[in-house]
Amino acid sequence: EVQLVESGGGLIQPGGSLRLSCTVSGFTVGSHMTWVRQAPGKGLEWVSLIYSDGTTYYADSVKGRFTISRDNSKNTLYLQINSLRAEDTAVYYCARAPPYGDYYGMDVWGQGTTVTVSS
């Protein structure tokens, strides 16, 4: 069964750092993978994408502060978040691109992990 499980969220002070993890099973994390976030009561916001070849893309709102990476040996995707701001408060989802679709699609999603930035 294809599954993604996020972890690493929590309450963090402005300016702090956090590393989110997304452990996958049923497929290899070396696929195209995406992070999406959703602020409380708001819509979906794309955050970052990593191609199977390691090429990365970021939303302008997080460029320079967030870093997407993965460890194939642990079948885990990461999102390093630095210089956290109040507007980064959101549920963060990881998702897989569909093998039958496009690199920017998302066919299986994790349950999300909540990041709250507050002093």
Q: Answer yes or no whether residue 62 interacts with other proteins by CB under 8 A.
A: no
Tell me: does residue 49 bind other proteins (CB under 8 A): yes
- Residue 49 contacts residue 32 (beta carbons within 8 Å): yes
Minimal distance in Å, beta carbon 42 to other proteins? 8
Choice between 40 and 119, CB closer to other proteins: 40
Q: Which of 1, 53, 87, 102 binds other proteins (CB under 8 A)?
A: 102
Residue 27's CB: how many other CB atoms inside 10 A?
Answer: 15
Nearest to 52 by CA among 111, 104, 109: 104
User: Which of 22, 79, 81, 110 touches other proteins by CB under 8 A?
Assistant: 110
Which string of b and e fits 42-69 if b means at least 16 CB within 10 Å? eeeebbbbbeeeeeeebeeebeeebebe
Residue 112 contacts other proteins per CB under 8 A = yes
Residue 34 engages other proteins in binding (rule: CB under 8 A): yes
- Residue 29 sits at the vertex; the CA angle it makes with 20 and 48, to the nearest 5 degrees, is 50
Q: Which amino acid is at 80?
A: Q
Q: Considering the rule CB under 8 A, would residue 30 count as an interface residue with other proteins?
A: no
57 near other proteins (CB under 8 A): yes
| Chain positions contacting other proteins, by CB under 8 A | 34, 36, 43-46, 49, 57-60, 93, 98, 100-112
